[in-house]
Amino acid sequence: MRDAPDWQTLQPALRLNIVSANLKVSIATDPAQTHAAPSSPTWLAYSTPVIAFLVLTWLESQYPGRYISIYFAKVAVVTAALVAFRSVWKDLRPNARIMAPAVLVGIAVFAEWVLVEKYVRYPHLETRSGFDPFKSIDDPNVRYLFLSARFFGLVAMVPLMEELFWRSFLIRFFTSQEWQKVPIGTFSLSAFAIVMGGFAMVHPEWLAAAICAIAYGILLRQTRSLFGCVIAHATTNLALGIYVIKTHSWALW
């Protein structure tokens, strides 16, 4: 038969265990030690810059005489929105190995865009303003400032804004109801088609834009990198901007 426990001997150990347990509970329930799990970005974080961009682009068409000032406002407001909702930038995940294929895709899309617009006759959704800064802006300082803002918009602001919206948010949104859990670069065929169609419809050159969306979508699937899509988009727009300046093809921007 086992001996009965010596309660006087066990009492100090029991007290120590009770104090330790109370300390753990107090630490776990201390508000200063309790941190809420970071919430995932909502659709608003991805959509707000695009909404601001579309509204101000519409204003440009309504008030062509104030195009320059409205464009400056558009760059400022959209950039501010991108910075305000910068939590979604985590989707980018820069990777140097993606740079080369992304640049090649960007150049291919630029060539496709120019060739389609030059040689394929098809009805456009609307006509761009074709703003010529060399004829419309007399002051060379203002012209330089406008061109700087225009290229910033083309090469930095628009690629970041559009890729976050189309190929990070929307393509996953149409893939799954729990889109925030879908990895970047994973999407359904129907979501791919919807994004391609939507991307085409917001560009006057819808045919060239549809081909562009297909190329960026394939790049996204193959690399699983939104960063690669932003680099490709920026490369396309930079080459297109230089082409417009060199050839005075103002209808392309």
pLDDT for 126 equals 86
Give the span between the Cα atoms of 10 and 12, in whole angstroms: 6
User: How far does CA 159 lie from the centroid of its chain?
Assistant: 7
- C-alpha 240/C-alpha 232 separation (Å) is 12
Q: Is the pLDDT of residue 27 over 50?
A: no
Q: What are 142-192's pLDDT values in tens digits? A: 999 999 999 999 999 999 999 999 999 999 999 999 999 999 999 999 999
Written as six digits, the tokens of 208 are 């060239």
Q: Give the model's pLDDT for residue 21.
A: 45
Distance, CA of 25 to CA of 139 (rounded, Å): 70
Rounded Cα distance between 2 and 190, Å, is 73
Q: What is the mean pLDDT of residues 124-152?
A: 93
| Least trusted range by pLDDT, from 14-18, 115-119, 193-197 | 14-18
Closest CA to 185 of 196, 175, 198, 194: 175
C-alpha span between 72 and 41 (Å, rounded): 28
Q: How far apart are CA 219 and CA 217, in angstroms?
A: 5
- Those residues whose C-beta lies under 8 Å from the C-beta of residue 69, and which sit 6 or more positions away, are none
More confident residue, 11 or 100: 100
Q: Do the Cβ atoms of 239 and 226 come closer than 8 Å?
A: no
d(CA 160, CA 92): 9
* Interatomic CA distance for residues 160 and 153, integer angstroms: 10
Mean per-residue pLDDT, 208-218: 98
Mean pLDDT (whole number) for 36-42: 61
**pLDDT reported for residue 39:** 61
What backbone phi and psi angles, to 5 degrees, belong to 184?
Answer: -60, 130
Average pLDDT, the chain: 88
**Overall pTM surpassing 0.85 (yes/no):** no
Question: 207: buried, middle or exposed (CB in 10 Å: 19+, 13-18, 0-12)?
Answer: middle
What pLDDT score does 253 carry?
Answer: 85
Per residue in 62-90, pLDDT (tens digit) is: 999 999 999 999 999 999 999 999 999 99
